Chain A
Amino acid sequence: MNPSAPVPDDALLDLLVKRVTEGLSTAEQRELDVLDDGELSEQERALELAAAAVALTAARGAPPLPASLRERIERDARTVVALRPPGPPARRPWPAAAGWFAAAACLILAVAGWLRQPASAPATTPPLAQETRLPVHTPAQARAALLARAGTLKAAFGKTADPGSAGVSGDVVWDPATQQGYLRFSGLASNDPSVNQYQLWIFDGGRDSRYPVDGGVFDVPKGGGEVVIPIRAALAVRAAKAFAVTVEKPGGVVVSGREHVVALAQVG
């Protein structure tokens, strides 16, 4: 068989098309991962654009949102905007591969790549409107409310080999439906944001495991006690499988040096 024949390309495209149009089974996703040489994200995005454009052809003359539904959405929006942490999630291009870590003693994650991201945006924060900055819930309250929802996932953080993991306990809650989540920690050392920051990574079963989703950077203030941190996923997470926290330079990193993985939680 001629290895340069177009058949493999068609097979690969068929998998990408299926992922874009109806989603893949676990076995199909594995097959795609094997075939993925790191160039597929651009292909997938192009196919998604084409599929979205076809969807738009049928959008003319659509009826307006029902009033009751619109009210629910407005309520959601008020909460989401109010809870939005300061600082914009940086625009992340699709990844290029880089090798990376095997972590935690109690959790084994076969992670072969790491999300490559652009240099983090400087600390310029688009101002939230004053009225939306007023919190309607504390993060702890919002976490509790999220936890009460059906379908919300919860996983405990385990220790890793990193010294920074000593004495750390906590958990993560994540609602796949609304893409909201919170980290909760006790014992995680406070950081000086001018020196380093914590950064969350989310391993998504719906994506290549080499490319975890950036979950945002965060700080732990001095004073000890429990901290609750909202998750800011830079991309939609289809099926969260694990959450990892690393220590990085201020603003987060393009590629993690993975020297300090201080917390790791596996879902399910």
Chain B
Amino acid sequence: MLERVAAGDPGAVRDCMDQYGALVWSLARRLSRSPADAEDATQEIFLDIWRSASRFDPAQGSDKVFIAMIARRRLIDRLRKHASEPPMEPEEVLESVASPEAESAAHVSLEAEQAARALAELRPEQRRVLELGLLHGLSQSEISARLGMPLGTVKSFMRRGLIKVREFMKVEVAPAGGRAP
């Protein structure tokens, strides 16, 4: 699909929106400050997708995780630009956070299933930190304030949680900074 987009196949553009539109729209709605902002973000994300399609490498992950990476980059940029705007209300955030289930996530992609299994192994408060940060776009400071949790703990939970997901995905990397343990 992405290869066809990269090759300029106009039919692939429509297929791409059929297949990934809901995914991008879902991410944009979660990580935007308003519905109008989500629409603008979605438009920008698809522009990024059209431009980046030629760089998709199936060896590095599924098409869906590639799309999600592109979407997240754009959404994080936009969140930073609008950092002064008030974030979502905590009740709205917490109400909409669902516990990911591996069986459901498996219908999305292998990576989603692996991530759901990793999240299921985390302590509830650690999982909440990842969900608020990654699914709802709250900053670490915002999470700290919302949950009454020290910022250092939020950082630690986020770091360890992502490493746990990375391990479940079997992504191997060299130690950060190349430092000896």
Contacts and interface: CB of A to CB of B under 8 A. Distances in A.
A56 B140 contact: no
Nearest to B109: A56
A54 B155 CA distance: 17
B146 interface: no
B181 A23 contact: no
Interface string A28-48: 000000010101101101111
Contacts of A35: 177
By size class, the interface of chain B is 35 or more
B108 interface: yes
Interface string B7-27: 111100110010001111111
Contacts of A59: 22-23, 26-27, 64, 68, 108, 112
B80 A236 contact: no
Interface of B: 6-10, 13-14, 17, 21-27, 30, 39, 42-44, 46-48, 50-52, 54-55, 57, 60-61, 64-65, 68-74, 76-77, 79-80, 98, 100, 104-105, 107-109, 111-112, 114-116, 119, 130-131, 133-135, 137, 139-140, 155-156, 158-159, 162-163, 165-166, 169, 171, 173-181
B8 A84 contact: yes
B86 to A, nearest CB: 16
Which of A9, A56, A57 has the most B CB atoms < 10 Å from its CB? A57
Contacts of A53: 65, 68, 109, 111-112, 114-115, 165, 169
Given A4-B180, A57-B116, A81-B10, 8 more contacts: A40-B177, A43-B174, A50-B162, A56-B23, A62-B25, A77-B10, A80-B51, A128-B8
Contacts of B166: 46-47, 49-50
A65 B17 contact: yes
A129 B177 contact: no
Interface string A1-30: 000101011101110111011110000000
Contacts, number: 242
B177 A12 contact: yes
Given A53-B111, A72-B43, A22 B140 contact: yes
A64 B165 contact: no
A52 interface: yes
Contacts of B130: 54
A69 interface: yes
29 contacts: A4-B179, A8-B177, A10-B156, A18-B140, A21-B140, A40-B176, A43-B174, A49-B111, A50-B163, A51-B165, A52-B72, A54-B131, A55-B27, A55-B68, A55-B72, A56-B108, A57-B135, A59-B27, A59-B112, A63-B25, A65-B22, A65-B25, A69-B42, A73-B42, A92-B55, A131-B10, A132-B10, A133-B8, A238-B77
Contacts of A258: none
A17 B158 contact: yes
A131 B9 CA distance: 9
Contacts of B98: 58
Interface of A: 4, 6, 8-10, 12-14, 16-18, 20-23, 35, 37, 39-40, 42-43, 45-60, 62-66, 69-70, 72-74, 76-78, 80-81, 84, 88-89, 91-92, 126-129, 131-133, 177-180, 233-234, 236, 238
B162 A128 contact: no
B76 to A, nearest CB: 5
B43 A76 contact: yes
A92 B56 CA distance: 11
Contacts of B68: 52-53, 55-56, 59
Contacts of A89: 54-55
Contacts of B173: 42-43, 46
Contacts of A47: 162, 166
A129 B10 contact: yes
